[in-house]
Amino acid sequence: MKTTAQKWGNSLAIRVPKHVAEEAGLREKDPVDIEVREGTLVVRPHLRRVYRLEDLLKRITPRNVHHELGFGEPVGREAL
């Protein structure tokens, strides 16, 4: 498909036709990743990683564990 890059401020903008956006699952204001790969411009929806606590805890080892930090005595009405 052919489209045109147009000036938008100091940048260039490329319009994504509706049917192309729908096929890619792209909606207005969705974040995208842009890169140049072997001279070709590649635009794809940014996939946000979902972290699960269980998976993060599995990655803690004796080598990368952080020790407890002391913040002093409670001040005010903190719940302990």
Domains, the chain: 5-58 (2.10.260.10)
Per-residue pLDDT tens over the stretch 13-58: 999 999 999 998 889 999 999 999 999 999 988 888 888 999 999 9
Angle subtended at Cα 41 by Cα 14 and Cα 8, rounded to the nearest 5 degrees:
30
Burial-class residue 26 by CB neighbours within 10 Å (0-12, 13-18, 19+): middle
Position 75 pLDDT exceeds 70: yes
Q: What is the pLDDT of residue 80?
A: 63
Q: What is the pLDDT of residue 70?
A: 83
Contact between 24 and 15 under an 8 Å Cβ cutoff? The reply is no
Model confidence at 71, pLDDT cuts 50, 70, 90, reads: confident
